[in-house]
Structure 1
């Protein structure tokens, strides 16, 4: 197989869709169309063919990495004469707002938990670690929500550290309806694999100059993924998603964004465009995209959310 190597980033090997698909190596497709329907995000047209081409080879790669880590851990515990610890394999999935990283994370969870070696796979989003809405307002950070300074980073670090050490933990849950963290939590009880998804999972201590503690969240991650796309596509996907929400969840009187439901289509497009330019686009360019080359794997999307190129770093 011919593998192209990026001249800009020689550490990465670049694969086309067809090249990557051959690495599936006869791994069976365990998902049905009905199951995939439950995993799709808003305005994402991900097919079973996309799962077969992109996500099955990726699940095979990750399965090999998880097994290798488990074997190394068994050897070390045997050498030290200790009981086997239950330290999960941690995978991070990063990328811009509207790129579809949540869908990628859900598909990976569904595929990985079907491997017999690691049936317990938990998915946690870092949205739950955003500061509560009242605190963001108090600190005048509401317009910076999603930026590094808007996260309770110590809470996130403590959570990841505890899970990594094999301890039970509670992940805060975020409500997109209420635009805030809620009282309920997600119990994490010694999973085989933890998938951590969010805007900030590739950021390190250098992105938080006010926070000097080491190691940082990204230091606990075993394998990192960045879901990428051109900003023009990301902006259009965000606008399209905003329009879908305007006709859907924004209609709920309980929604924090219920006032947007009253906008006309033209007004909604202008509003979404403004939000992108002032918040999401700025955060992408300044804080999210600069972390892309820290990822072990970069999935680059083209039109229709289809992944066109895969770049893997050894």
Structure 2
């Protein structure tokens, strides 16, 4: 039986399901990913089990499969009514959540699972990091320390990209961001050609204003057919961020080309202190001011426990 506990004391627009209830909604679905494939998809310090993929992400891929099929049918019927040629328009999924919450892993898992469904094998993943302003622009504007905040993105470019995608344009390109050099890669593009589904992942995708000045007429989320918010307690996200920073100190930061190579020789105590300061001064502020307020704009919320395992699923009532 599906429980219907509200997130707030007031009426909730969501149906809330325990993980076990959610898993039971996709009986007979065969797990298409191997343990090795799952390991390759998961992020730093995450340990996603086969059972987690089968009980949470496989049913989610099934739900999106159903939504996508219905959307494609509706698009075809509408064009038939309007006597228009049916152009292929992708189903677009927005994926939001805090830094270090694991949304990138979630996006990669969903992409891998959706690509196995026979009626829409071509699934593309775009991250909004590519739509950040280049570092030189952020430095010119004096907002390098606000990277990831709404004003650090070229929102107009992201909206134009999504508009081209949703207009059925045959080929659409997005800029590429390098986490190693912490900047846009000049001259490099990610091109998508007539995809069936596009997942757009980023902390900013559900925000309704981009610079604090005036509310734009068009939002990024206007182009989404379905949206997901990856959620967890702030204390848990903070701990994941600290552990990720320490792991990166011993791996990616050791690369001489890394923007953060200055942190490579830190002790555990120094790494914890610096990561805590970055979190408190930047990521925590961004979370509470710009990211967390968008949570209830999502169609589905994945609520994680302290070990990165999803414990509750909140699905918006239709």
TM-score higher than 0.5: yes
Which one has the bigger helix percentage? 1
The change in CA–CA distance for 1:234 and 1:47 in structure 2 (over 3 A counts) is same
Report the Cα distance in structure 2 between the residues aligned to 1:235 and 1:176, rounded to whole angstroms: 20
Deviation at 1:227, TM superposition (A): 0.2
Report the Cα distance in structure 2 between the residues aligned to 1:144 and 1:165, rounded to whole angstroms: 33
Matched with 2:5 is 5
Q: Secondary structure at the match of 2:24?
A: helix
With the length of structure 1 as denominator, give the TM-score of the two structures. 0.97
Matched with 2:297 is 294
Alignment of 1:176 onto 2:179 = yes
- The unaligned stretches of length 5 or more in structure 2 are none
Q: Secondary structure at the match of 1:300?
A: strand
- Runs of 4+ with deviation above 4 angstroms: none
Q: Contact 2:7–2:14 at 8 Å: present in 1 too?
A: no
Matched with 2:132 is 130
Deviation at 1:69, TM superposition (A): 0.5
Cα deviation, 1:140-181, whole Å, max 9, x if unaligned, reads 111100000100111111111111111121111110000001
- After TM superposition, list the pairs within 5 Å mapping 1:194-273 onto structure 2: 194-205=198-209, 207-210=210-213, 212-273=215-276
The change in CA–CA distance for 1:166 and 1:211 in structure 2 (over 3 A counts) is farther
The change in CA–CA distance for 1:245 and 1:235 in structure 2 (over 3 A counts) is same
The change in CA–CA distance for 1:84 and 1:301 in structure 2 (over 3 A counts) is same
With the length of structure 2 as denominator, give the TM-score of the two structures. 0.96
Paired residues in the alignment total 313
Matched with 1:35 is 37
Report the Cα distance in structure 1 between the residues aligned to 2:120 and 2:7, rounded to whole angstroms: 37
The change in CA–CA distance for 1:203 and 1:7 in structure 2 (over 3 A counts) is closer
Task: State the superposition RMSD in angstroms.
Answer: 1.1
Cα deviation, 1:92-113, whole Å, max 9, x if unaligned, reads 1100000000000000000001
Report the Cα distance in structure 2 between the residues aligned to 1:46 and 1:195, rounded to whole angstroms: 20
Report the Cα distance in structure 2 between the residues aligned to 1:228 and 1:16, rounded to whole angstroms: 15
Deviation at 1:208, TM superposition (A): 3.8
Q: Secondary structure at the match of 1:243?
A: helix
Cα deviation, 1:50-71, whole Å, max 9, x if unaligned, reads 0001001101110010000011
Q: Contact 2:208–2:215 at 8 Å: present in 1 too?
A: no
- The unaligned stretches of length 5 or more in structure 1 are none
